[in-house]
Chains A and B, each alone.
Chain A
């Protein structure tokens, strides 16, 4: 009888523990969604914040610095949604007013977690760092150019690796570039001068709007290397791709960049008529499809053969 009671007791402990643990694991995600109840986000997701000024003993309401306002919806969908603010930021931020010297403390960097970790080996973060150091970004801004300048750590989603929608990938990736290259203040911070006008500078590019929505900036502005999905060696303007055939050929550069992702390689299998219309490259015309290419060669040779045979008979029967 005692044994049965003891067993029941352990059962209850187990059930309560599981319930508590599952609740705890949801705590952060839920807290991003319910920003008003999150200790940090109740201020950092709003345009304004209030606090009690203990010197004047008055309730004060102020505008939040727009760069410190976080998109909680995007955060709760981001790859770091399972983390809490103080996993990367100092735990001293839990106190308000924040200590002014906290700003000077170095933040945790991405490579503190991602570098040298077997779990992230396939992403080759160390190789990315090596390539990044050759890039125009590093040359201009040195170590101050952190990963988060492009990859917003609060909201980042691995879209290129997971989405099968090219347009979604292109839009997500290009927004990373445009967040600075289309923003005077942010561009000026890094480059030290106002940014050039993107539309004018790309005026040489035919069908500019179509290119901007269908391929990523990095397709032309990044060196392609086999071992990485994106080399991160962002090239300066004068070294960027400017020749149409580098993409519009059967040996298209896009195969080694945008269509390197497994999730996109099978895109041509979708939709009707895919057996004939395998969109294997950006070659112009019917040569995009190997079946049509072969068919056109056969028809051409048959026509030519017919003419030659007919001519021979004409000569013989003259």
Chain B
């Protein structure tokens, strides 16, 4: 049995941010689904649901800045850089591992190290979520907090309507990401290993 090697992947600031982000996103998803499902008779009522969604949204907006600046000033940002070499090949290889290789005893195609925190497929999804979906959901969310600033008509369709569609479509994308994120996290040395890492900061390689 080879000795396990530990890497301190998740510094305190990142874990705190991750916890706040996780809680905020969960509240946003639950209240968001509640609002668009015509649920007036939910436990806390429609008005409270809207207020909670707004507060959680502002918290996520602030915490996103923490993440963004944290990635700029620490080494963590480099893990999000995508290499152009093997742009498609590398994530496909990782995908093939998840659907085939891992059931046939194949080795992990991109073992994690001090230089590689995310596998290519994981990296692509994180970049899409953190640098596209979340910013879009924040901008559209802020616009919906102040709807009078939104352009009235875009190609004959209400600007508020388009913003709301974009906001909830991105919100939905983030929800799907969260489900996959939580599930894939269980594909580790043991099913609970990665969850523990997000609390202790140490990742067993």
Contacts and interface: CB of A to CB of B under 8 A. Distances in A.
A210 B168 contact: no
A303 B164 contact: no
Q: How large is the interface on A (under 10, 10 to 19, 20 to 34, 35 or more residues)?
A: 35 or more
Contacts of B169: 286, 292
Nearest to B100: A313
B172 A286 contact: yes
B155 A271 contact: yes
B43 interface: no
Nearest to B155: A272
B46 A300 contact: no
Given A250-B38, A284-B35, A244 B165 contact: no
A183 to B, nearest CB: 26
Interface in A267-318: 270-274, 277, 279, 283-289, 292, 296, 299-300, 303-304, 307, 310-311, 313-314, 317
Contact of A289 (B46, B99, B165): B165
Contacts of A279: 157-158, 161
A288 B38 contact: no
Contact of B179 (A206, A250, A304): A304
A249 B38 contact: yes
Size range of the chain B interface in the assembly: 35 or more
A245 B46 contact: yes
A303 B176 contact: yes
A285 B36 contact: yes
Nearest to B161: A279
Nearest to B177: A303
B37 A243 contact: no
A284 B179 contact: no
B57 interface: no
Contacts of B162: 277
A271 B103 contact: no
A284 B164 contact: yes
Contacts of B65: none
A10 to B, nearest CB: 56
A300 B161 contact: no
Q: Which of B32, B156, B167 has the most CB of A within 10 A?
A: B156
B79 to A, nearest CB: 25
A207 interface: yes
A288 B179 CA distance: 24
A251 interface: yes
A159 to B, nearest CB: 19
Given A285-B35, A285-B165, A296 B172 contact: yes
B77 to A, nearest CB: 29
A226 interface: no
A284 B40 CA distance: 13
A209 interface: yes
A65 B37 CA distance: 55
B171 A244 contact: no
Contact of A271 (B157, B160, B171): B157
Interface in B99-156: 99, 102-103, 147-148, 155-156
18 contacts: A243-B40, A245-B38, A245-B39, A245-B40, A249-B40, A250-B38, A273-B157, A277-B161, A283-B38, A284-B168, A285-B36, A285-B165, A288-B164, A288-B165, A303-B180, A307-B179, A314-B102, A314-B187
Given A210-B148, A310-B183, 9 more contacts: A245-B39, A277-B165, A279-B158, A283-B38, A287-B168, A288-B165, A292-B169, A307-B183, A314-B103
